[in-house]
Chain A
Amino acid sequence: MHYECIPTTCTYCGCGCLVVLQVLDGHLVGVLPGKTNPVNEGSLCIKGWTSHEFVYSEKRLKNPLVKKNGVFVETSWEDALDTVARNLKKIKEESGADSIAALASAKCTNEENYLMQKLMRATIGTNNIDHCARL
């Protein structure tokens, strides 16, 4: 019998509300808003209140998927990364670097978003980088 509350930051938007994860016997059962946090001051939006629900979702991917003959097929990480690298190289050679664009995500950390723009600007060689918050 073990119940505890672990404070963390909500994974969704850039506000960074304090979400308190309720863990009962090692299983995530719900969230509460952090009452003392100056960002959210005891409130959450609907995404924050349901931010625990995706954790155990059956729809979560367990393995990378690659499209083969128009159908998504499970594959290994090596195969998936090779496919992406090979195709991006091909597109860059055929149509130029500016034909590739990337959308970063508010659900990623700042560091991950930094890596994404570095990948686009330094490796692929284009300025076509944007963020879902601008949509």
Chain B
Amino acid sequence: MESSSRFEPKIIAFCCNWCSYAGADLAGGMRLKYSANIIPIRVMCSARVSPHFIIRAFQEGADGVLVAGCHIGDCHYLKGNYIAIKRVAILRDLIDFLGISKERLRLEWIAGSEGDKYARVADEFTEKVRSLGPSPIKRIPFREKAVAMVR
């Protein structure tokens, strides 16, 4: 069947506790249907998302990474989302230069009341990453050999 051979991207979403995770929770509460490819990880603030988390996510095989925080001005810790802007912006340019499309890393502001936005972003981003294909990191030869050895 078509769906069994279709590439299913794996997307890690770092969601801030106060806004975007609540938004994701609301999407569930509203019984909205959206792509199952998105794996939420709750952090207290989008500023908690160190660039190392994002690098680790890509290295471990994530096809896309979403960083979701509160809207500007609404951060529970006042200025955390400003930090997230800087980090994600620099990292996007950097991974693009290394050959990993910058479209694989996305920053979104999702409020606690925006369950529908969470579902919409999940769907859009999944389709975007699907169109980009599997992360090129999986193509690194020795990684495949290492994985085969472990299996």
- Whether A and B touch (Cβ < 8 Å) is answered with no
